[in-house]
Chains A and B, each alone.
Chain A
Amino acid sequence: DIQMTQSPSLLSASVGDRVTLNCKASQNIYKNLAWYQQKLGEAPKLLIYNANSLQTGIPSRFSGSGSGTDFTLTISSLQPEDVATYFCQQYYSGSTFGAGTKLELK
């Protein structure tokens, strides 16, 4: 099974900061990676698919990069409404999610 490791598990940042979240796959998954945002009490929401494609309706401050085993989600200018937990997911073989990065305001 493919394992997904996210870092950090908790991230504190200020409004306006550039924020980077990391996700590492245990084997090559090419670009078969998605990022989801989950706010407290809500279902996850798709942000990024195929490693770097922005889902329709998602603000352009969100971007994804990477391929193979190392991936990054970047928020260019953190907004208060971005407080959430972020999960990566590989869909190269079955599906596996990372444990999540909880993003809070400093």
Chain B
Amino acid sequence: QVQLQQSGTELVKPGSSLKLSCKASGYTFTDYAMQAVKQRPGQGLEWIGYILPWNGVTDYNQKFKGKATLTVDTSSNTAYMELSRLTSDDSAVYYCARAAVADWYFDFWGPGTMVTVSS
């Protein structure tokens, strides 16, 4: 069965960087795009961007350009998202989600990684 396993809860200091992971199993990793979504506590969902694992092509929501960087390691079926220059506004749950290329809806989601930015 399709599974997306995300890295654990993070508590980091303002100004630091962080790399989150999302390990895929149960399907061919290079057949689907991997998407990233942010959800602040009690808030809605924000699309961050996507990466195509077969060629590394990325696209980002303008708001997250310079903040988030998506990469993949196809040898381990893992997608990564690096968040830079963290502030309290980056405190949120971050989800990875799978999307078919033909239709960009997100059919499977990881459980999320909670990130808290605090001194």
Contacts and interface: CB of A to CB of B under 8 A. Distances in A.
- A and B from one complex: yes
B105 A89 contact: yes
A32 B45 CA distance: 17
Interface stretch (A16-24, A71-79, A96-104): A96-104
Given A87-B44, A99-B44, A100-B44, A94 B61 contact: yes
Given A94-B59, A94-B61, A95-B35, A46 B47 contact: no
A45 B44 contact: no
Interface residues of A, number: 22
A34 interface: yes
Given A43-B111, A94-B61, A87 B106 contact: no
A1 B97 CA distance: 21
Interface in B33-84: 35, 44-47, 59, 61-62
Interface in B101-119: 103-112
A55 B103 CA distance: 13
A91 B61 contact: no
26 contacts: A1-B62, A34-B106, A42-B111, A43-B95, A43-B110, A44-B106, A44-B109, A46-B105, A46-B106, A46-B107, A46-B108, A46-B109, A49-B103, A49-B105, A49-B107, A55-B107, A87-B45, A89-B45, A94-B59, A95-B35, A95-B104, A97-B44, A97-B46, A99-B44, A100-B44, A100-B45
Give 10 closest A-B pairs by Cβ, nearest first. A91-B104, A95-B47, A34-B105, A43-B109, A97-B45, A49-B105, A99-B44, A46-B107, A100-B44, A43-B111
Interface of A: 1, 32, 34, 36, 42-46, 49-50, 55, 87, 89, 91, 94-100
